[in-house]
Amino acid sequence: MVEKKHGVIIETPTEARQGEPGPSVLLLMTISTGLAVLILGLIWFVFFRT
């Protein structure tokens, strides 16, 4: 329940922590995982291919 005191919203710590990770978090994780796979693949190709 949201309370206002002097125009300021007062929330409990539990209410304040209830954010939702949006699509930007999914996009960030996808891009970073893809880049990690690409970089590791390039390292393997340059140094370890026989």
Write out pLDDT tens, residues 1-50: 677 888 888 888 888 888 776 778 889 999 999 999 999 999 999 998 86
pTM: 0.54
**pLDDT the model gives residue 45:** 94
**pLDDT the model gives residue 44:** 95
What proportions of the chain, in percent to the nearest 5, are helix, strand and coil?
A: 60, 10, 30
**pLDDT the model gives residue 28:** 92
List, in order, residues 6 or more apart from 10 with CB less than 8 Å away: 2, 3, 4
Q: Whose structure tokens read 């309370």?
A: 3
**pLDDT the model gives residue 1:** 66
Q: For residue 1, what are the CA distances in angstroms to 10, 14, 15?
A: 9, 11, 9
